[in-house]
Every structure is written in structure tokens, then in C-alpha cells.
Structure 1
Amino acid sequence: MGLKAKLSKPFAALAVYQINKWKKRSVEVQQQVMATLVDEARYTAFGKDHNFDEIRTYEDFKKNVPVRDYEDLRPYIERVVKGEADILWKGKPAYLAKTSGTTSGVKYIPISKESMPEHIKAARSALLTYIHETGKTDFVNGKMIFLQGSPVLSEKHGVATGRLSGIVAHHIPQYLQKNRLPSYETNCIEDWEEKVDAIVEETFSEDMTLISGIPPWVQMYFDRLSAKAGGKKIKDIFKNFSLFVYGGVNYEPYRQRMEEVIGRKIDSIETYPASEGFIAYQDSQNERGLLLLTNAGMFYEFIPSEEYFNENRRRLSLAEVELDTNYALILNTNAGLWGYSIGDTIRFVSKNPYRIVVTGRIKHYISAFGEHVIGEEVESALLEAAAESHLEITEFTVAPQVTPSAGELPYHEWFIEFASQPDDLVAFSKQVDEAMQKKNIYYFDLIKGNILQPLVIRCLIKGAFQQYMKSEGKLGGQNKVPRLSNDRKIAEGLAPFIL
């Protein structure tokens, strides 16, 4: 055991001790966070506009701070981007994280000197809780790779600007720098396919023990490694690879194929980072869900998903949430986002401590006929059917077909890229449809009432989703294909790749 591995165990024990102190008091901690945030931003433009000096309770907060998405908050953010100080948070932000929005174009999310350390602390804590629970430390002494965006930052009125992963690259602790790959030069390559090829060359002969990234892009990296090694499994290329850290999408649809190319099961840690803040991470290999970070400079609010678009929607604090209810997540942060609807939906699977699962996007659903199908339902239905039929799914997305051929009923159209095609597509489609009917009562009623016909699966050529994302200029990095769309834009983009 190397020195880093030896030191990591007592360090992990101390970190877990500190985490346990706040996670058992999460409701109280959240009240303190709200009060601190309001006090710190009292004299900002936003604070003055929203009567922060009069806010004493959560009820006061709700009366004065409306729920907003990026477009609603844009007038304040534009002032921040132009270089004005004391707008959403005291002073100027340390960084502006550049993200792509589906309706807002390029978005700039402020990161403050107070919020930046929370991103690093959370990522470190995810690894330390894993070490403390499992006792596994060997990965610490090997090489680690983080598939991420370019660390090259531009500047807007004196504020460094770039992708979150590129910003975080500048804050990797010194003790990890010698272990970290790829090199700075390789990380700066903008073209994703060229970058992956360079990473393959750099890492092929290294002792890789930890690999981190969004599953579909890690899969692309693994496929190219395997091709370079003449079809070898990843376990035979990286004999000490023992931990996969991921975020951004649900891993389950990718797990079977990932483990196939790796050649064995491997421990994994799920994380929930966003430009707006590091929200949660998997703190246990034995418990379901991600630990909600209630002591990380963010005050959370929750709106029941089915009420989100209602005029009189309820807006709840952590103390008021229930298990097994889908909520839209609202953030208030120490970087100056207030009543900010991040667009994600979550569900609590535990309240002692508060653990969540990410269930989808509030605007990524299908409800062309009132069925309100969400991402969690389609993922679960497909995985159940695929497991029963021993099929591997590479990628998929679903869209409604509301104007089918004459004489046909409308249907949900599933675009699936299989690792190998099913022997009986009709039977498999029936399995998926039956699973969907069990998971969504509204969908069941529409099928039984002959409003919809059973779903239709379109098999796509290998590499279809990568080619589609490349055509959209979204290959690699932090970009993901939505599981669900309530329109036909993605469906039309995938049509040329149907087998």
C-alpha cells in the first residue's frame, strides 16, 4: 500500500465524521443556509429589489422571491456578464460557467469564490465516503482520468469564462496532479473525436485505476481503447482499473454494455454536479440514492412536478417533502441564483438522511395526450424488457407521433441503438409497451381506450447517436441526448439512421 493510500483512510474517517454532523441535522442546516444567503446578499441589486432586509422566515422568502428559470433571471445575469458588481451576489463572480440551453442559447452561470470550493469539496467527499465504507484505497496510487471539457478559459469583462469541467480542472488539488490524466495539452483539444483519440494514445500504457465522465462518452473512449488493443477487454488493458465515477445521466441503461466492454463488474460512484452547484453524490455502495448536500451553500426548494405549470403550485422546503413524490428542484445559491428552476426533477428515497434519485427533466416528458410520461419510466421499462430478453442497449430516445399514416392511431416512437439487434422485434416491443402500461396509469388508459396504439420501435444503425450529436455540434463534453421529447425535432434528426 502506497503512502497516499495509507493516509487516505484516516482522512476519509475525518471527512465522514464531519459529514455525519450536518446530514443528521439537514432541516435545521437548511434554515441556517437560507438565513445566511439572504443576509450575505442583502445589499445586492437583487436583494434590494426583493426586500431581503425584510425576510425573516421561509414564508417571507417565498413572498418576495419568485421562482424563475434562466430566461426570467436573464436581465440580472446580463448585468453580471457586462461586469457590474453586487448584482446577484456580493462583488463580481470568480467565474462564469458557460452552458448550452435548449431555449436560451448560451447560458452564463455565475460561480463565486464562496461556491467554487463547494464543487471541489463535494467531489473529494464522494471519494472519501467510498474509501471509508469499503476500505478500498488501491485506486489512489494509480492514474486517474477525468473526461471533461477544455480548461482553456476566455474572459468577459475581467471574469474568467468556460465550461464547468474546464474551470474545475484549474482547482484539482496538488496531491492529485501527478496522478491525473490526460495532459493539459490533450485536454485543450476542442474536437471531441480528435481529443478521445489523443487520450487513448496517452493512457493506453498507463496504470489507470479511476476513470470519470459521462457514461456515453466514456463508452466511446472504451470502444476506441478496445479497438486499439485488438478487441481486448478494458480489464486486460487497465488491470488495476477499479472505480468508475460518473454523473449527468442515469448509468443503468449503459451499465450492461459498459460492463461487457470492461469485462467484469466494477464499483461506481454516481455524482450530481451542475454549473449551478454540486447538489448530491452517492455516499454508500449499499444504500439507494444520492446524499443531498444540505450544507454546501445552497438552499433547496421543491415543487411537486404535477403542479409545476399550475398557477397555484406549492413550493416546499426540505422539512415538507415526502418520499416517492416527483419534485422539480429549485435552487438558491451562494453564487447568486435565487428561486432558480434548474430544470431537473428528483424524488426522495430516504429522509434519514435525505437521499434523492434524479428522475428526469421538467420539460423532457411526453404528454401529447395527457399521459405525462417521464424519463424514469421509459428507462425502467426498457431496462426490464432488455434484461428479460438479454439485450444490450447502446442509447435511446422517445418522441410522440401525433400525425401517423392515414388509418393509424398515434403512438410513442422509440429510437433505439442496440449493441445487437433483437431476434424478435415485435415481441420485444410488446414487452416494453406492457412495462410502460404498468408504470404509467395514464398511458395504460390511453392504450386500452384506443386513443394510442402500442409503441413502435425504430432500430438505428451503430453509431447513430454519435453521428446525430456530431451533426448538431454537440459531440462529447457535457452534452447528452434527452430521453424524452414532446416534439419531433430529435426524431427527425435520427430518421436518416433508421435501419
Structure 2
Amino acid sequence: MISLKSTLAKLFAKNVRKSVLRWSNKPVETQNKVFKTLIKEASHTQFGKDHDFKSIKTHQDFIERVPIRDYEDLKPYVDKVVAGEEDILWKGKPLYFAKTSGTTSGAKYIPLTKESMPTHVEAARNAILMYIAETGNSKFVDGKMIFLQGSPILEEKNGIQLGRLSGIVAHFVPKYLQKNRMPSWETNCIDDWETKVEAIVEETLPEDMSVISGIPSWVQMYFEKINAKTGKKVGDVFKNFNLFIFGGVNYEPYRAKFENLIGRKVDSIELYPASEGFFAFQDQQNKKGMLLQLNSGMFYEFVEANHFFDENPKRLTISEVKIGVNYVMIISTNAGLWAYNIGDTVEFTSTKPYRVIVSGRIKHFISAFGEHVIGKEVEHALQEATSDLGISVSEFTVAPQINPESGLPFHEWFIEFDNEPQDVKELATRIEASMQKQNSYYYDLIFGNVLQPLKISTIKKNGFQDYMKSIGKLGGQNKIPRLSNDRKIADALYSQKLIK
């Protein structure tokens, strides 16, 4: 029998789909409107005055007045906002700060405003509703839903609350989902990730779980604990579990592992959320890429990754991008981030409508020798090779070995296997072939005898979890970088004796 809740969800989904189609079918017009609104609303702020927003009429005007910045560059303004000053980057004060791990500046405080906060919630909601509109499947709304996330306990700084983005969003779960939502508030507030996951397992085992959501690496830990405790596949424990919602990393390297843990295939929805904005979500099951959120108070610019470090790289609008090119994504938002480099690289898979995949991080790459290796390339190479050989990988990272004990430098791949291959050298050969095929710079360096072929170092079971725990980043939104341009992670794996 179809419940009232399920029926209402279908009606709501139909209306939301119409709304999404309206702006996604008019992408350039939508972005132009967002651009003009942002400039107008922020013209009286300190940043707006410092950059002469009142005279900005075109994108070219904006380029001439507002340079690309990252957090370090914007920090003098952010520090004033954190100190409690008003009308600095955006009108008034932020509602919240999303606190994230910084690099040279320590903790980063990303503002969330009255205007920007609803866009995070709406995008997450719309992702689910677009799935319902497409598939007609709304039964899951009657089951229990789990969202593996950070603690919702918030601190306060100069009258503004701050916490992890996922913890802040937990305060905005709609009332109609509150009864279905898990884990309990008390369990969600547990800080230690391993303790938290154990508690979540205990809470959820007796329940009718229909939706499970989170970063794949941490959902994997949850699934493994369920397998260990029950001796059953997750799909047998939760008979009505049919929708997995994930974000934060490329799911492909995890897909085979998850299907084994679940015991059957389930539908999935990919999300692209960040503290700086909810940028995209998967709007169709059979289409590659996620629908870029062009109507969410964010104006996008794109710079070709290969030219990003040029003196004056060309900044493109949505109307100028091409499919298959690796771009650094630059955002200006109604939270007061201006020409802001979030550090992600994306590729467009479609321009009707505009869909993207996250191809990596502009800071997470290997180019110790000019090879320009990016995340998308290593993930594809590993997925292709392991799929051919029937191997399942739990986690991996890659680093350059610049000063080996003997021979030429090489790329060292640190891989934690679920089922270790009989012939690691055969796997390395296949990955190597894929890397050379994908990346002409890498190919030239191998055949020019600058580099020798890659080598694999096998990580002990749960080695990456032990490493993340050692640096205080186990769980939540933290994840292992796929690529490093240095040996910091590699050296830690060796020093902690996590290599077999």
C-alpha cells in the first residue's frame, strides 16, 4: 500500500523538477542574473567598496577589479568577519562559520549567510526529489535514513556559531524527515569516530534502513562493522535499503567493494557539497556527471588547469567552457566569497544541461618532473587495472619518489587491498600502461628515461585508517588525498610501519 508520505513526495518531486528544468534550460541567462544580484547586494560592503563594485557592469569589469584569491589571500577580510565586524564580505554578519582544516593558516572559517544557507539544504533536498521524479521510486521515504556526518554541537565565536558543515546542516533537517532520520542526536554528538560508528551500528541494526548517506570511505567502515557483527551482507540486513547517497570523493574506486559489502546493486545519487557551496548533484541515473547549480547564489568562472599558474590565465564563464577540458573552478557567492579558488578541478560531461565531474584538486597533483598527473587519471588507471584482474581496493594514495636508493625516480603507489593480488607486478604493469595512455607528459618522461615505471607498496589492513587516526582526522569529512607532490604522507606510512 502506498503511503500518504510517499504520494506527497512524488507530487513535490514533480514540482521541483519543473523548477530545476526552468533554470537549467536557461543557463547563461540564469548565471547573468546571479552575477548582477551578487554585485548589487555587495556593493556597500567593505570588499565591494575596495573593488569598486558600483562600476562593475560586465564580467570583464569584474575580472579587471577582482583577482582570483584562495583562502590565504582573502584571510584579511575573513579575519574582520570572524572578529564580529559587519558588512565586510557580505551584508551584515554570517549566520554561521563552517570550520575546516586549513593549510598554512590553521583553521579556516568559511562564512554561511542568511542567503547562502538555504541553498545547501535545498540542493540536498532537490537531489533526492529529482531522483524520485525520474524513477518514480518514493517508497524509501517511509523507511529510516542515515546520514553519516560530523557532530551537530556548535561553538560560538563573537556571537556567530561555528562547526563542521555537516553538523550545521543537521540543524536544518526538515520536520517531515526528523522521525525517519538516524542516528539519534546523542549518537551524532559523539566526537570519536570509531566509537560513533559502533554506536550507529547498534542503533541501526534493528531498524528498516532505506537510505544510507555519507563519504564512501566512512560508510565503508560502517558496512564492514555490520558485516563483522552479523555475518551477513548489508543488503540482507536491511532488506529495503535501495538508495545510497554519497559525495566528497569519486565513487568508482569503491563501487566493486560496496556491491560486495551490500551483496546487490542499489541506486546511488552523487553529490558535490562543500563548505563554500553546494555545487552540483546527480540529476539523472543514466547520465554521467552532476548538474551544476547555476541558480543557487553562486557565479562560476573556469580556468583551464594547464594554464592556471600562468601570469594572467583566462577566466571563462559558463557559456565558454568545453566538454572534456580540465578546469579550476572559481566561485563568487552570496556568502561573500569573491573570485574564490576552492581548489577543485572539474570537467564538463555535458553542456545541455551543464553537468560536471570532479577531476581532482589543483593542489593534489604530481608534477615533480613536469608530468602533470591528476586525480582522475590515477583513479581511472587503478579502476581499469583492478577490474580486469578481479581485485578490490580499499584505499590508495600516490607520491613521487625523487631520490630512490638506486635507479631513476618513480611514482610510488600505496595501495590497501581487500583481496591482495597474486602478482602485484602484473597490476603495476597494467596501471602503468593506462597512465602512459592517458598522460602524454608521463609517457614522454618514461620513454625519455627521466622516470622509471611506477612501483606499488602494499599497505597493511586498516593502515590508512591508522594513519588518519594518527593525524587526528579519522572520520567526518576527512579523506586521504589521492595525490601528493611531496612525501609527507608516504614518509608517515613508512615511519608508522604501515607497509607490508
* TM class, shorter-length: over 0.9
CA deviation vs aligned residue, 1:40-92 (integer Å, no higher than 9, x gap): 00100000000001001111111111100000000000000000000000000
Q: Is the deviation greater in 483-492 or in 446-455?
A: 446-455
Question: Does the alignment pair 1:304 with 2:304?
Answer: yes
**SS of residue matched to 2:341:** strand
Q: Which residue of 1 aligns with 2:243?
A: 243
State the distance in 1 between where 2:341 and 2:478 align.
19
Q: Which residue of 1 aligns with 2:101?
A: 100
Q: Which residue of 2 aligns with 1:132?
A: 133
Q: Which residue of 1 aligns with 2:445?
A: 446
Q: How does 1:231-380 map to 2 (within 5 A)?
A: 231-380=231-380
Q: Which residue of 2 aligns with 1:157?
A: 158
Q: Which residue of 2 aligns with 1:224?
A: 225
Letter paired with 1:310: D
Deviation at 1:103, TM superposition (A): 3.2
Q: Which residue of 1 aligns with 2:486?
A: 487
**SS of residue matched to 1:300:** strand
Percent identical among aligned pairs is: 61
Letter paired with 2:457: R
State the distance in 2 between where 1:251 and 1:486 align.
23
CA deviation vs aligned residue, 1:334-357 (integer Å, no higher than 9, x gap): 010001000000011110000001
Q: How many residues align?
A: 497
Q: How does 1:417-456 map to 2 (within 5 A)?
A: 417-456=416-455
State the distance in 2 between where 1:409 and 1:459 align.
21
Q: Which residue of 2 aligns with 1:201?
A: 202
CA deviation vs aligned residue, 1:237-270 (integer Å, no higher than 9, x gap): 1110000000000000011111101101111000
Q: Which residue of 1 aligns with 2:147?
A: 146
Q: Which residue of 1 aligns with 2:30?
A: 29
**SS of residue matched to 2:107:** strand
Q: Which residue of 2 aligns with 1:40?
A: 41
Letter paired with 1:456: K
Q: Which residue of 2 aligns with 1:123?
A: 124
**SS of residue matched to 1:329:** strand
Question: Does the alignment pair 1:461 with 2:460?
Answer: yes
Deviation at 1:448, TM superposition (A): 1.1
Letter paired with 1:9: K
**SS of residue matched to 1:105:** coil
Letter paired with 1:69: D
**SS of residue matched to 1:195:** helix
Deviation at 1:101, TM superposition (A): 2.1
State the distance in 2 between where 1:324 and 1:194 align.
42
**SS of residue matched to 2:478:** coil
Deviation at 1:393, TM superposition (A): 0.6
State the distance in 2 between where 1:358 and 1:110 align.
23
Deviation at 1:312, TM superposition (A): 1.9
Deviation at 1:494, TM superposition (A): 1.4
**SS of residue matched to 1:338:** coil
Deviation at 1:104, TM superposition (A): 2.9
Letter paired with 2:257: R
Letter paired with 1:4: K
Q: Which residue of 2 aligns with 1:88?
A: 89
Deviation at 1:149, TM superposition (A): 0.3
Letter paired with 2:302: F
CA deviation vs aligned residue, 1:129-150 (integer Å, no higher than 9, x gap): 1001111111110000000000
**So what's the TM-score if we normalise by structure 2?**
0.99
CA deviation vs aligned residue, 1:297-337 (integer Å, no higher than 9, x gap): 00000010011111021111111111111100001000100
State the distance in 2 between where 1:279 and 1:46 align.
23
Q: Which residue of 2 aligns with 1:381?
A: 381
Letter paired with 1:363: K
Letter paired with 1:145: I
State the distance in 2 between where 1:290 and 1:6 align.
26
State the distance in 2 between where 1:101 and 1:439 align.
32
Letter paired with 1:351: T
Q: Which residue of 1 aligns with 2:186?
A: 185
State the distance in 1 between where 2:394 and 2:15 align.
40
State the distance in 2 between where 1:488 and 1:95 align.
36
State the distance in 1 between where 2:332 and 2:455 align.
41
Q: Is the deviation greater in 437-446 or in 97-106?
A: 97-106
State the distance in 2 between where 1:355 and 1:101 align.
29
Deviation at 1:102, TM superposition (A): 3.1
State the distance in 2 between where 1:142 and 1:490 align.
41
State the distance in 1 between where 2:105 and 2:345 align.
19
Letter paired with 1:307: H
State the distance in 2 between where 1:463 and 1:322 align.
40
State the distance in 2 between where 1:4 and 1:224 align.
32
Runs of 4 or more, structure 1, over 3 Å off, are none
Deviation at 1:3, TM superposition (A): 1.4
Letter paired with 1:224: K
Question: Does the alignment pair 1:53 with 2:63?
Answer: no
State the distance in 2 between where 1:150 and 1:428 align.
40
RMSD: 0.6
Structure 1 residue ranges without an equivalent (≥5) = none
Q: How does 1:401-420 map to 2 (within 5 A)?
A: 401-406=401-406, 408-420=407-419
State the distance in 2 between where 1:312 and 1:122 align.
33
CA deviation vs aligned residue, 1:446-491 (integer Å, no higher than 9, x gap): 1111111110000111101100000010000000100000000011
**SS of residue matched to 2:21:** helix
Letter paired with 2:208: D
